Amino acid sequence: MTEKTTQPTLKKRVSLPHNIRRVVFRAEDKTSLIKLPSTPATQNSGNVIRVIPLGGLEEVGRNMIIIEVDGDIFISDMGFEFVTETDAPGISYVLPNVKYLEARKKKIRAVFITHGHLDHIGAIPYIMPRLGNPPIYTRELTALMIKKRQDEFPELPMLDIRMMEPGKRVKIGSTFVEAFAVTHSIPDSMGLKIETRLGNIILSGDLKLDHHDGVPTKEEQDVWSKVKDEKNILFIADSTNAERPGFSITEREVMENIEEIIKKIKGRIIVGTFASQFARMIRIIQIAEKLGRKVVTDGRSIKTNIEVAIAAGLINLTAGHIVDIKTIDDYPPDKILVLATGAQGEEFAALGRASRGVHKFLKFKTTDTIIFSSSVIPGNEVAVQDLKDNLYRYGVHIINYRTSDVHSTGHGNAGELVWINKQVGARYFMPGYGYRSMLHAHADAVIEAGFPKENIILAENGTIIDIMDNKTAKVHKEKVPADPMFVDGTTVSDGQSPVMNDRKVLAQDGIFVVITAINASTGKVHRSPDIISRGFIYLKESQELLKHVRIQTRRLVEEQATKHRPLNLDYIKNDLREKLTKFLLQKTGKRPIILPVILEI
């Protein structure tokens, strides 16, 4: 292998459409205020190789793993996690907690990004400024995806992005790191081999196998035979599909099926897919051109990713092949294919708006065929069912992954993962990238295949794993801070914010405001208290309850006003809040946010 000690740096921003966004970091999140416990676990003497997952081991997304080697810190991935309004009202994304890194940012030597999906790159604009903007090492397409996203944050400093090529070692500090190509749903995906004095640490990134009826292709066998090494001490691998047995259907088979379907359909075709299914999106465009169909793209993420694909040289479009959606009715139905966002039932995506009849240009006809070339993400089942029900109102024909092989996952099933594990041959194995159930399923699969149970590390976010020597690994009871951070509008805050707790209470039990005027001289309540309720009770149907609340409020305020001279309004409000909380819980079974307002007159 060739050693490579310097890397070209991408300095020019990719010129792509973008939305301007400004990010504000809360003062309380600054590094100067970070205080971490000084324990043997959190203080690395440099004599051990340390691995700490900061995200991605208890969820799908928010991927981030740090490796400490001889005083240097290396980071693998920097992704975010999408959340629902139910889980976190008003929150856009969930980020890994980087307080441990902020306190040690001078030791950070590099950030490695394994591929361009948002669960691996999405947190970069929010986290990199906190860590001193260390260099990013990745492959070409991923670099373009990162820079495209960074263009949405023009106030941030330019990123220092350096290219890695599979099979070429890069020396960073005193440590050599090598990338190797892996199969995933986006081109230029890679895994990592970090060489340490105690052995190699292998990180798979997201991956699957290309195979023929369960036999990995020659290309896959060549890649993994080079990764295999008796010096491999720890393997951290994708667990996302570990609960599925056998081998997954290959992307090659999916595209063959989609091409056959497109050939047979006479009417208009609308394909709903993930914009993140990069390779599939490109291939569908190529198939449409081959079969004489113009392509209409509808959805910002799809349009942006096509522009990135063009910039990366992954697709060469014939002039006029992609047409504006405004002209969709200018072409015969059998000459049009629409690539649309919204296959997960997103309310404001293209398919969602068209299914409700509010899309300005896409109007469904009974001759239309809709292909859902994506699986249903857990949690989206109801939204996707509503979308399909709305679509069927138009008499369209729907093809999905349950009825035809029109979708393949980007993650390997258990059979693939076991094969990869055997090829790597590491002493220790840590399932990664997935929910707890996925990690355990991955562990069970490799144990059943003969891997020693005692050499499997089932970690959580924040777990500290120290490799003491080439035969010993220690998992500490202590953890580094791992509670997620939240992107809340234009700010980043931690999950312990009172604002988050208040939103959850408001969403569940509403708010109850009691406004009382009190005579400062006599301590008597002036007039009956006013009450405002939102999301708690319907006032017109709760007059008896409101009557008792007013009586209770007058009595409690006047009692405390008599006891505290001069008036202590803060004490009176707190006492009133506490007493009304108990009263309303007893009467309604709910705990609304109670806001007492006391006015002196």
Task: Give buried/exposed letters for 293-307 (b at 16+ CB in 10 A, else e).
Answer: bbbbbbbeebbbbbb
Residues 471 and 355 in one domain: no
Burial readout 45-79 (b: 16 or more C-beta within 10 A, e: otherwise) = eeebbbbbbbbbbbbbbbbbbbbbbeebbbbbbbb
Residues 306 and 200 in one domain: no
pTM, rounded to two decimals:
0.82
CB atoms within 10 A of CB 515: 14
CATH code for the domain in which residue 275 is found: 3.40.50.10710
Residues 286 and 268 in one domain: yes
Q: Which residues have a Cβ under 8 Å from the Cβ of 37 and sit 6 or more positions away?
A: 478
Query: Is 432 found in the same domain as 377?
Result: no
Q: Is 550 helix (H, G, I), strand (E, B) or coil?
A: helix
Asked whether residue 66 falls in the same domain as residue 182, the answer is yes
Q: How far is CA 267 from CA 155, 333, 353, in A?
A: 47, 5, 21
The DSSP bridge partners found for residue 553 are none
Contact predicate 302/284, CB 8 Å = no
Q: How many CB atoms lie within 10 A of CB 44?
A: 18
CA distance 278 to 115: 11
Query: Shortest CA distance to 557 belongs to which of 595, 591, 526, 512?
Result: 526
Say if residue 95 is in the same domain as residue 180: yes
- Cα separations (Å) of 201 from 32, 197, 412, 470? 32, 11, 20, 11
In single-letter form, the type of residue at position 129 comes to: P
586 within domain boundaries? yes
Choose the final residue of a domain: 438, 468, 494: 494
The pairing of beta strand 491-494 with beta strand 485-488: antiparallel
Residue 11 has a pLDDT of 40
Q: In what order do the strands lie in the sheet with 491-494?
A: 24-25, 491-494, 485-488, 93-95, 81-82
Query: Which DSSP helix (H) or strand (E) runs through 148?
Result: helix 140-150
Residues of the chain with pLDDT under 50: 1-37
| Domain count for the chain | 3
String of DSSP letters for 248-288: PPPHHHHHHHHHHHHHH--S-EEEE--TT-HHHHHHHHHHH
Q: Do the domain assignments include residue 16?
A: no
Q: Report which DSSP code applies to 329.
A: G
Q: Which of 427, 462, 494 is the last residue of a domain?
A: 494
503 falls within a domain: no
Question: Using CA atoms, how far apart are residues 60 and 439, in angstroms rounded to an integer?
Answer: 11
Predicted pLDDT at 595: 92
H-run or E-run covering 138 = strand 136-138
Cβ 178 vs Cβ 12: under 8 Å: no
Nearest in space to 146 (alpha carbons), one of 242, 261, 16: 16
Is 1 domain-assigned? no
158 part of a folded domain: yes
Cα–Cα distance for residue pair 29/495, rounded to 1 Å: 12
Share of the chain above pLDDT 70, in %: 91
Q: Nearest 5°: phi and psi at 524?
A: -95, 145
Helices (runs of H) and strands (runs of E) counted in the chain: 15, 32
Q: Is-contact 96 201, C-beta < 8 A?
A: no
Residue in the structure block whose two tokens are 């039990």:
509
| Same-domain status, 137 and 198 | yes
User: How far, in Å, CA of 528 to CA of 549, rounded?
Assistant: 10
Per the listing, tokens 């599939």 go with 280
Strand-pair partners of 532: 513
pLDDT at 35: 41
How far apart (Å, rounded) are the C-alpha atoms in residues 200 and 191? 13
Domain span including residue 466: 22-32+39-246+410-494
Residues 6+ apart with CB under 8 A from 83: 91, 93, 94
Which of 374, 399, 424 is the endpoint of a domain?
399
**312-323 burial code (b ≥16 CB/10 A, e <16):** bebeeeeeeebb
Within a domain: 172:
yes
Asked whether residue 151 is domain-assigned, the answer is yes
Domain shared by 280 and 378, yes or no: yes
Structure confidence by residue, pLDDT tens digits, 200-259: 999 999 999 999 989 999 999 999 999 998 899 999 999 999 999 999 988 888 888 888
Burial 429-452 (b: 16+ CB within 10 A, else e): bbbbbbbeebbbbbbbbbeeeebe
Instruction: Give the pLDDT confidence of 537-584 residue by residue, as tens digits.
Output: 888 888 999 999 999 999 998 888 888 778 888 888 999 999 999 999
* pLDDT at 24 (0 to 100): 38
Q: What is the side-by-side order of every strand in the sheet holding 472-479?
A: 9-10, 161-163, 136-138, 108-112, 72-76, 64-69, 49-55, 463-469, 472-479
Residue 149: name the closest of 275, 258, 296 by CA.
Answer: 275
What's the token pair of residue 81?
A: 């996690």
Same domain, 146 and 49: yes
Residues 203 and 164 in one domain: yes
Are residue 329 and residue 471 in the same domain, yes or no? no
Helix, strand and coil in the chain, % to nearest 5: 30, 25, 40
Give the whole-angstrom CA distance, residue 479 versus residue 52.
9
CATH number of domain containing 568: 3.10.20.580
Residue 15 lies in a domain: no
What is the domain-level CATH number for residue 82?
3.60.15.10
**CA–CA separation, 403 and 115 (whole Å):** 30
**CA-closest candidate to residue 410, choices 360, 462, 373:** 373
Q: Residues 416-471: pLDDT tens digits? A: 999 999 999 999 999 999 999 999 999 999 999 999 999 999 999 999 999 998 88
Task: State the pLDDT at residue 20.
Answer: 30
Alpha-helix residue ranges (DSSP H) falling in 265-392:
278-290, 300-311, 350-355, 381-392
Residues 57 and 185 in one domain: yes
